[in-house]
Structure 1
């Protein structure tokens, strides 16, 4: 699945489009929420009895109805949970990987329409592509995110943050660095900027549905990137 669910040697994944980060929760609370969902799912859902998926959704929506949302119109799908998988042929340290993802995805249920039990339905769930997944260099960004992240939550905050990546690509282009060198000779620059993003807690939890409604200011990409990261335009780290 590419950027959402990277290659087998990466233990992380992104679940931002399922609306998880639309909830006003701290990192540990996100992990607890997903653990609770997953445990409830395993105890109550039987794929041979499809109606149990509908019952699970009803129970979890009731349990989570009082969580504060960043955007009241963005849905938080309760079928997003922890996916613990055995990885054949993988290195010992990731023999078992814990990712986040759709617990009723057809790969698990065997039913191509099983996601119709979710709010958006199978057609939307399987067709939605976020800005970063659609990039020309999505595979290269996937590698950067995989190297930089330390869990599925930090991976998700990178994979869904199109604003930062837009500014980085514009900044590198403005510096006259050809795209063929972005992920080789300029890889250190990218990693430094991403580190600043995390140090400054910039857009750490994205829903992946954010839309930039304002026109870009008439300033350079370096200035725009500095402003976004809360830095001075002459900061030596840029």
Structure 2
């Protein structure tokens, strides 16, 4: 599935478009929430009885109704949980990994329309592509995010932060670095800037639906990137 659910050897995944980060929670609280959802789901949902998916949604929406939201209009889908999968490693050894993802995705239910039990419905859930997923170099960014991330939460934060990647791509272009060299010769520069982003807590938890509707200021990409990261434009790291 690409950027959302990377290749088999990557233990991380992104769930930002399901509204996870729209909740005002700390990392440990996110983990507890997903654990609770997943345990409730396993105990109460039977795919042979589709109505149990509707009942689960009702129960979880009631349980989570008092969580503080960043945006009252952004939905937080309770079907986002922990997916435990067995995967074959390079040595043909079978390993168990846990990622975050949709617990009623057709790959698990066997029903191509099972996501109709979610708020947005199957057509939106399956067709939605975030800005980073649509990039020309989405696969290369996926590799960078996978290398940089510590868990699915930091991976989701990177994968959904289109603004930082817009600024990075504009900055590298402005420096005259061809896109063919971005992820080779300039890889360390990219990782260094992403490190600054995390140190500064820049857009660490995105709801995934923020869009910059304002026209960019008439300054260079370097100045825009520095301003975004809270740095001086002559910072030697840029």
1:90 to 1:100, Cα distance in 2 relative to 1, 3 A: farther
What's the secondary structure of 2:82's corresponding residue? strand
CA contact (8 A) 2:9 2:89 kept: no
8 Å Cα contact 2:196/2:229 also seen in 1: yes
TM (normalized to structure 2)?
Answer: 0.98
**Once the 2 structures are TM-superposed, how far is the Cα of residue 88 of structure 1 from its aligned partner?**
2.2
Q: Confirm or deny: 8 A CA contact 1:8 1:90 kept in the other structure.
A: no
Question: What's the CA shift for 1:94?
Answer: 8.3
Distance 1:50 1:195, change over 3 A: same
Q: Flag structure 2 segments of 5+ consecutive residues without an equivalent.
A: none
CA contact (8 A) 1:9 1:91 kept: no
Residues 191-230 of structure 1 deviation map (CA, whole Å, 9 limit, x = unaligned): 0000000000000001111110111000000000011011
In 1: Cα distance, 2:89 partner to 2:124 partner:
33
Deviations 1:145-166 (A, max 9, x none): 0011010000000000000000
Q: Alpha-carbon deviation of 1:89?
A: 3.6
- Return the alpha-carbon distance in structure 1 between the equivalents of residues 226 and 105 of structure 2: 40
CA distance in 1, matches of 2:145, 2:91: 19
Contact 1:12 1:155 in 2 (8 A): yes
SS of residue matched to 1:43: helix
Secondary structure (helix, strand or coil) at the match of 1:159 reads: helix
2:93 aligns to what SS in structure 1?
helix
Evaluate the alpha carbon distance shift between residue 87 and residue 208 of structure 1 in structure 2; reply closer, same or farther with a 3 A threshold. same
Q: Would you say the 8 A contact 1:41–1:56 is kept in 2?
A: yes
Inter-CA distance 168–91: structure 2 relative to 1 (3 Å threshold): farther
Inter-CA distance 145–124: structure 2 relative to 1 (3 Å threshold): same
How many pairs were matched up? 238
SS in 1 for 2:184: coil
Distance, in Å, in 2 between the alignment partners of 1:38 and 1:232 is: 45
Instruction: Describe the shift of the 1:29–1:92 C-alpha distance in structure 2 as closer, same or farther (beyond 3 A).
Output: farther
After TM superposition, what 4+ stretches of structure 1 lie above 4 angstroms from structure 2?
Answer: 90-94
Match in the other structure for 2:88: 88
TM-score under structure 1 normalisation? 0.98
What secondary structure does 1:87 align onto? strand
- What residue in structure 2 maps to residue 235 of structure 1? 235
Structure-2 change in CA distance of 1:59 and 1:30 (3 Å): same
